[in-house]
Amino acid sequence: MDESERVSRLIGDIYDAALDRGLWPSVLEKTCEFVVGQSGALLAQSATQSKAQFFFEWGTEGRFIESYNQTYGILNPLHVPTMIYANVGDVRVASEFIPHDELLACRFYKEWLSPQGIVDAMSVMFEKSAVSYAMLAIHRNERHGLFNDDSKRRLGLLARHFRRAVAIGQIITLHKFEAAAFADSLDGLAFATFLVDAGGRIVHANAAGHIMLDKGTLIRAAAGKFAAVDTQANHTLRDIFINAADDHDAVSSRGYAVPLSARDGERYIAHVLPLTSGARRKAGVAYSAVAAVFVCKTELELPHPLETISAIFKLTPAEMRVLVMIVQLGGVPQVAPVLGISEPTVKTHLQHIFDKTGVKRQADLVKLVAGYMSPVGAGITN
């Protein structure tokens, strides 16, 4: 099987897993095989908590996930730079956030990564808010060496499909995508949701969808057909419905996230899921539907408070790592072994932080960070 066929099949598996959650471990296993990884996980992490929520994982023993949440989450040197510097959709490797020699010297590597034989990590962020992020993380075993440009290219072929599938999975909380239960579930969704046939005819709309149709400022039913008031978006959606019916374009390289504009200038996104391939086919049987359309308002993505601190005071990634560890762990003697650097180096970074922020004591640094964190409801705590 050549690479293009492997990618095509894997993309199909990814979208099927969005609808049957039991398939995610298998998808993660196949993804690890494709990029030569040892383990993989779909997870979320908050800046105000040391624990991560592992939604699905493959290849990691339960004891390591438990120890991460009990002990090592707060010691992970990749967490803060990922929160600050990673952009949604970008494929990044660990060395882009922290020099590899520093990673090898830190406590997190020695006590959590190394016992698993892990030498490197690669990730792609799906969502990022002011307080947390969700991502796909892949770890590589030391016998395979570090991730390289080809590894990033391979994961890049899958990244946007993972992101869309995860978003769809958060909307549709069903383990099995069965037609009989699907319509009842749609009515309980806050998102405006529509099932449409190949000609664009609306064969089902949930309560939120009917409200949106009644307003008519974004979506309307033109002779019973789904129609966006945005002309360009409407043409795009019609093409998607036709292609979905043919099944050959059910997993398109363009993806199905269509920007919409309402008459009042408000902006929305229509997420279109073809229902004509694999497990998705079952959802359309009862209604002759070829696609499900989820319409939601776009949200402003606010920067994380630590990102704001970094930008305002022009702190380097190394200085940000020291700043966060000082706030979380205490003084220089506690921070040095965690980061795997000498106490004089920590002191040098700390002095630079003092100079740039204008404060003179570690206690004042804690107050500074807490002041930026408090608007979102919580600060970094010991």
Same structural domain for residues 284 and 312? no
- Same domain, yes or no: 183 and 167: no
Based on the fold, state whether residues 87 and 143 are members of the same structural domain.
Answer: yes
pLDDT, mean over the chain: 82
Q: Around Cβ 17, how many Cβ atoms within 10 Å? A: 25
- Domain membership flag for residue 382: no
pLDDT score at 131 = 63
Whether residue 47 is found in the same domain as residue 151: yes
Q: Are residues 184 and 66 in the same domain?
A: no
- Nearest-5° angle of CA 145, CA 125, CA 140? 15
CATH number at residue 204: 3.30.450.20
Do 61 and 99 fall within a single domain? yes
> Which of residues 130, 145, 171 is at a domain's end?
171
pTM tops 0.85, yes or no: no
Domain end position, chosen among 269, 297, 325: 297
- Answer yes or no: do 53 and 100 share one domain: yes
| Tokens 């075993």 -> residue | 141
Residue 184 lies in a domain: yes
Place of tokens 């494929």: 91
- Shared domain for 118 and 267, answered yes or no, is no
Shared domain check, 155 and 75? yes
Torsion of CA 103, 105, 109, 111, to 10 degrees: -170
Q: What is the CATH number of the domain that holds 324?
A: 1.10.10.10
- Domain end point (choices 130, 154, 171): 171
340 lies in some domain = yes
How many domains is the chain built from? 3
**Residue 339: domain span:** 305-376
Give the C-alpha separation, 221 to 145, whole Å. 56
Each residue of 1-39: pLDDT tens digit?
688 899 999 999 999 998 888 999 999 999 999 999 999
How many other C-beta atoms can be found within 10 angstroms of the C-beta atom of residue 300?
Answer: 5
Q: Does residue 253 belong to any structural domain of this protein?
A: yes
Residue 105 resides in a domain: yes
Low-confidence ranges of the chain (pLDDT < 70): 1, 47-50, 130-131, 170-190, 245-256, 276-288, 298-304, 373-382
pLDDT at residue 331, as a whole number = 85
Evaluate whether residue 165 is within a structural domain.
yes
- 381 in a structural domain: no
Place of tokens 């100079």: 355
> Any residues with CB less than 8 A from the CB of 184 and at least 6 apart, and which?
none
User: Do 9 and 101 lie in a common domain?
Assistant: yes
Examine the domain organization and report whether 326 and 288 are in the same domain. no
Do 77 and 19 have their domain in common?
Answer: yes
Instruction: Please write the tens of the pLDDT for every residue from 139-195.
Output: 999 999 999 999 999 999 999 999 888 887 763 332 332 343 345 445 656 678 888
Q: What is the pLDDT of residue 337?
A: 87
Q: How many CB atoms lie within 10 A of CB 87?
A: 9
Sheet arrangement for strand 267-274: 202-205, 192-196, 291-297, 267-274, 257-261
Residue 85 lies in a domain: yes
Q: How many alpha carbons fall within 13 Å on the CB side of residue 166? A: 23
Check residue 350 and give its pLDDT.
Answer: 93
